Amino acid sequence: MRIPRIPARLGIPALAVLVVGAAALSPTAQAKEQSAANPAAAPAAASAVPEFDHVVIVLFENTNYETIKGSSKAPYFNSLAQQGTLFTNSFGITHPSQPNYIGLFSGSQHGVTGDDCTNLTGDNLGQQLAAAGKTFKAYSEGLPKAGSRDCKSGKYRRKHAPWASFANTAGASTHVPFSAFPTDYSKLPDVSFVVPDMCNDMHDCSTGTGDTWLQRNLDGYVQWAKTHNSLLITTFDEDDFRSVNQIHTVFVGDHVKAGHQSSGSINHYSVLRTLEDMHGLPALGEAARKSPITDAWSGSTPGGSTLFADDFEADRGWTVNSAGADTATSGAWERGDPEETRSTYGPKQVKQLGTTVSGTGALSTGARAGADYSSNDLDGGVSSVRSPEIALPAGGSAPNLRFSYNLAHANNSDADDYIRVRVIDGEQTTTVFERTGSPDEVAGAWQNATADLSAFSGRTIRLEIQAADGGTASLVEAQVDDVTITG
What are the pLDDT digits (tens) for 410-450?
888 888 889 999 999 988 999 999 999 888 888 888 887 88
The whole-number pLDDT of residue 237 equals: 98
CATH code where residue 456 lies: 2.60.120.200
pTM: 0.57
Residue 297 lies in a domain: no
Residue 330 lies in a domain: yes
Residue 405 CA to residue 475 CA, distance in Å, equals: 17
Same domain, 243 and 116: yes
The whole-number pLDDT of residue 346 equals: 66
Q: Which whole number is the average pLDDT over 13-37?
A: 27
486 Cα distance to chain centroid: 16
Residue 198 CA to residue 426 CA, distance in Å, equals: 61
The whole-number pLDDT of residue 309 equals: 83
Check if the beta carbon of residue 254 is closer than 8 Å to that of residue 52: yes
Residues 6+ apart with CB under 8 A from 108: 102, 122, 284, 285, 286
AA identity, residue 253: G
What single string gives the DSSP state of each residue in 357-413? Answer: SSSS-EEEES-S--SSTTSSS-BSSEEEEEPPPEEPPSSSSPPEEEEEEEEEE-TT-
The whole-number pLDDT of residue 69 equals: 97
- What backbone torsions phi and psi does residue 478 show, to the nearest 5 degrees? -135, 145
What are the pLDDT digits (tens) for 255-296?
999 999 998 899 999 999 999 989 889 899 999 888 889 889
Least reliable range by pLDDT among 49-53, 354-358, 454-458, 464-468:
354-358
Domain span including residue 416: 5-46+306-486
Residues 6+ apart with CB under 8 A from 196: 58, 60, 141, 178, 210, 213
What are the pLDDT digits (tens) for 134-163?
999 999 999 999 999 999 999 999 999 999
What are the pLDDT digits (tens) for 54-107?
999 999 999 999 999 999 999 999 999 999 999 999 999 999 999 999 999 999
User: In the structure, what pLDDT confidence band is assigned to residue 299 with cuts at 50, 70 and 90?
Assistant: low
Same domain, 28 and 122: no
Same domain, 279 and 322: no
Q: Which whole number is the average pLDDT over 38-62?
A: 68
Residue 294 lies in a domain: no
CATH code where residue 244 lies: 3.40.720.10
Which of 452, 466, 435 minimizes the C-alpha distance to 401?
452
Check if the beta carbon of residue 303 is closer than 8 Å to that of residue 20: no
The residue that leads in pLDDT, 339 or 222, is 222
Q: How many domains does the chain have?
A: 2
Residue 298 lies in a domain: no
Check if the beta carbon of residue 168 is closer than 8 Å to that of residue 200: no
Question: Which of the listed residues 260, 289, 318 is the one where a domain comes to its end?
Answer: 289
Same domain, 70 and 162: yes
Residue 301 lies in a domain: no
Please provide the average confidence, as pLDDT, over all residues in the chain: 84
Evaluate if residue 304 carries a pLDDT over 60.
Answer: no
Same domain, 122 and 271: yes
Residue 272 CA to residue 296 CA, distance in Å, equals: 15
Same domain, 62 and 173: yes
403 Cα distance to chain centroid: 10
Check if the beta carbon of residue 144 is closer than 8 Å to that of residue 155: no
